[in-house]
Amino acid sequence: MNSCKLIAWALLQVLIICSIGNAFQVPNFINRVPVDHYAGVSAPCSDLQKARLSAISDVIRQILGSINAKYNHSYTNKISGSPKEPRMQIQDNFSRVASGIVLDVEKNITRASHIQNRSKKYICFILVKYPDSKIKEMRRLSRCAKIVGSVLSESGRILRVKVTETNGVAVTLSSADITVRKNNRFAKMINFCIWKVPHGSKDSFSTALNPVKICAGSSIIKIDIAGIKKGFRDYLLGAKLNCNIKINGVDEIGRPVSTSIKF
């Protein structure tokens, strides 16, 4: 497992360092990591707080590998030279990239200890409880919320919009930004014959919504669009309205989400 390799690598660093410093006993919770736990070992640090943060970072790297890790491997074999003196070049590259959301690591620390070597550097050890249920929860949150919207109907000053969340991450929608672009189709003719009028305009405004919570489902949102109705002047100028509504909110851990609708 990747987590075991990371721990082994960190322990090897610690043992090398301590072979030239004071000998010490590795904590039992590092040698025997309980089920549903992760062990973290810090790099040697000048103060204890930095060592503790380094150990926490070690645990976070391991958890990220369990949540979403991508591996890339490339191998090339090139032969050059002459038949009598061939030369072979081999390139074998392996890389690993992990990303995702990791929460509550510090809150779930169950054991912690530290030592100080001869160089007065601190090495910190921590044990964090992070069961599979927590890993699944972080994997779900790492997908991020995805919302899409569509216009259902327009009645008077109210626009009914259906908004759907598709990734199983709860969102709360609370505001809308509305942009109205007017294209005055008769402006060229009126400018030539009568008086000067604008060819178009752009107006933007925001409106509050009654907060709506959605998770892996749909909900109907009502938006007041009284501010984008045509007036007498608009009909006179042959105005064509293009409206864009951006519905805004946050997901369950505070990340901003939005979806745009045109009508």
Sign of CA dihedral 27, 32, 38, 41: positive
pLDDT of 63-98, one tens digit each?
998 888 777 778 787 878 777 777 878 787 877 777
Q: What is the largest CA-CA distance in the chain?
A: 96
Q: Are 111 and 94 in contact (CB under 8 A)?
A: no
Report the chain's terminal Cα–Cα distance, integer Å. 52
Q: Where are the beta strands (DSSP E) in 156-227?
A: 158-165, 171-184, 200-214, 218-224
Q: Are strands 171-184 and 122-129 parallel, antiparallel or unpaired?
A: unpaired
Label residue 1 by pLDDT band (50, 70, 90).
Answer: very low
pLDDT of 187-246, one tens digit each?
677 666 777 777 778 889 899 999 999 999 999 999 988 777 777 776 677 778 889 999
Label residue 22 by pLDDT band (50, 70, 90).
Answer: very low
Q: Are 228 and 156 in contact (CB under 8 A)?
A: no
Residue spans per domain, the chain: 2-141, 143-262
Structural element, H or E, at residue 9? helix 2-19
> Which pLDDT score is estimated for 48?
94
CA-wise closest residue to 212 among 256, 260, 246, 175: 175
Label residue 14 by pLDDT band (50, 70, 90).
Answer: low
Contacts for 84 with CB less than 8 Å, ≥ 6 apart: none
- For 177, the 3-state DSSP assignment is strand
> What's the topology of domain 143-262?
Immunoglobulin-like (2.60.40)
- Residue 171 tokens read as 């969102």
Structural element, H or E, at residue 57? helix 48-67
DSSP label at 27? P
- Walk across the sheet containing 218-224 and list its strands: 147-155, 158-165, 218-224
> Which of 27-41, 44-58, 227-241 has the least mean pLDDT?
227-241
Rounded distance between C-alpha atoms, residue 228 and residue 242, angstroms:
10
- Identity (one letter) of the amino acid at 91? Q
- For 92, the 3-state DSSP assignment is strand
CA distances to 74, 102, 169, 218, 261 from 142, rounded to whole Å, are 28, 8, 9, 21, 25
- For 260, the 3-state DSSP assignment is strand
Q: Are 62 and 126 in contact (CB under 8 A)?
A: no
Rounded distance between C-alpha atoms, residue 165 and residue 149, angstroms:
9
